Structure formats: C-alpha cells, structure tokens
Amino acid sequence: DTGVSQDPRHKITKRGQNVTFRCDPISEHNRLYWYRQTLGQGPEFLTYFQNEAQLEKSRLLSDRFSAERPKGSFSTLEIQRTEQGDSAMYLCASSLAGLVETQYFGPGTRLLVL
Amino acid sequence: TQLLEQSPQFLSIQEGENLTVYCNSSSVFSSLQWYRQEPGEGPVLLVTVVTGGEVKKLKRLTFQFGDARKDSSLHITAAQPGDTGLYLCAGVQGAQKLVFGQGTRLTINP
C-alpha cells in the first residue's frame, strides 16, 4: 500500500511530556500538510511544507509545536510540554502541487493528554 | 473560527429517503471539496468542484457549487446504510490550504 501513513496511531501521555508524531507521505508528493481535528469538529490547518520548506504556519501552532520535513520526504510534528487541550486527532495529508490538488490523508494519530 | 458552516450537523433518516447537506460561507473559494470520514480514519475525498454553478454526480450523490463559489450542497438519493458517516466540506484557500466545515454526521437506519 502506498498511501499516507502515520505513526503512532494512538498516543496517551501525561501533561507536561513531549510527544513526536511521524508522517510518511505518498512518495512522489512534494506537499505535506498537518491538520488537527477535535471531537465534533472538522480538521483545522496547522502547517504545510513544499519539499523541505515550511511555507505556512497557522496561529494555532503555538511555540510548543514544531514541525520538520528535513529531506522533503517524511515529516515529524513535535509537541513540547503537552497540555490537556492538545488532545485531538492529528492528521497528515500529502499532495502533488498543481492547479487543483487532491490531498490524501493518513489515518491520523489520536493523542490523549491526561 | 470556522469559515464554512455546514447544516445540518446531525441527520438521521430511514433507508431509501433523500437528503441534502449544505455548506455555506461568506468567503469565495477557488474550489470546494467534499470528504467522507469514517471513525478513526482520515477524510477521503469524494469530489472537487471548481467552476461556479458546477454540478457533479457520483452514483447516487450529486454535488453542486454555488454560482458565486461561496456555497455548495450534497444531495443523496435513496440513501443506504452504507452512506452512514461524517461528511465534510472544505474550501481551498491560497496554496491549497483546506478550510473545513464542522461536518455533518449522517446516519441511515435500515
């Protein structure tokens, strides 16, 4: 299967701990997006990369959040000093840059901060 | 703050009935997409509409983009239990950033 994969699928952590999530996009896709989805809501944009460059960050992405895509392939999203409000599903999507794109979403990482 | 408002947020109907879900915004989008999401999974794209007034059909699903490219609708004919799920509309802004509505949770009862 060559779809978008995310790891881990579930993460339970205690408040104040750091967590890191990984996203492996579809191999030929040059754009990679991170979204956050809380219960009962649609996904909200966090940030996106074109190749290894982080081109846009949402104001939702506080200083405790950092995302990288060092070689333009996989990406990591780190949350430092987690808070209970960080509990959500973190979705990754990838696409091939073009006039009308299709973003392919991974299964998400569900984070629970106790 | 959601720029896209979906209605209704919840809908439960009997198998065989028709339904329409609406997606409205005060903003203009370059295109609008509809996704379906199953529990514990990421959204899966159903359709992209680009041109104002465009209508696309996907079997029993009909999607329409408003003339001003600010709103859209999804109509399902003769709903089946397999149509149950969370339906999300998403407007495309800027460099393909998606702005999602809050979703419509649809339940089709046998």
C-alpha torsion A56→A3→A65→A18, nearest 10:
-170
pLDDT in tens, B37-64: 998 899 999 999 998 999 999 999 999 9
Of residues B48, B88, B97, nearest to A42 (C-beta): B88
Nearest-CA distance B31 → chain A (Å) = 8
| Total residue length of chain B | 110
Of residues A41, A55, A100, nearest to B95 (C-beta): A55
Cβ contact A43–B41 (<8 Å): no
Question: B6: which chain A residues are within 8 Å (Cβ-Cβ)?
Answer: 42
Question: A26: which chain B residues are within 8 Å (Cβ-Cβ)?
Answer: none
Q: Does the pLDDT of residue B103 top 60, yes or no?
A: yes
Residue that the structure tokens 């149509």 belong to:
B83
Q: Dihedral of CA A74/B47/B65/B19: which sign?
A: negative
pLDDT, position B101: 94
Percent with pLDDT over 90 in chain A: 81
Residue B108 DSSP SS3:
strand
Taking only the tens of pLDDT, chain A with its 114 residues reads: 579 999 999 999 999 999 999 999 999 899 999 999 998 899 999 999 999 999 989 988 889 999 999 988 999 999 999 999 999 999 999 998 877 788 999 999 999 999
Q: Please count the other Cβ atoms lying within 10 Å of the Cβ belonging to residue B66.
A: 18
What's the one-letter identity of residue A86? D
Is omega for the bond preceding A25 within 30 degrees of 0, making it cis?
A: no
Residue B88 β-bridge partners? B35
Of residues A42, A44, A95, nearest to B96 (C-beta): A95
* C-alpha atoms less than 13 angstroms from C-alpha of A26 in its C-beta half-sphere: 17
Q: What angle do CA A78, A79, A84 make, to 5 degrees?
A: 150
Of residues B31, B40, B102, nearest to A100 (C-beta): B31
Q: How far apart are CA A42 and CA B88, in angstroms?
A: 7
Question: A103: which chain B residues are within 8 Å (Cβ-Cβ)?
Answer: 45, 96, 98
Residue B82 DSSP SS3:
helix
Mean pLDDT across B17-42: 92
Mean pLDDT across B68-74: 93
Mutate to test the interface with B, among A41, A55, A57 (most CBs of B within 10 A): A41
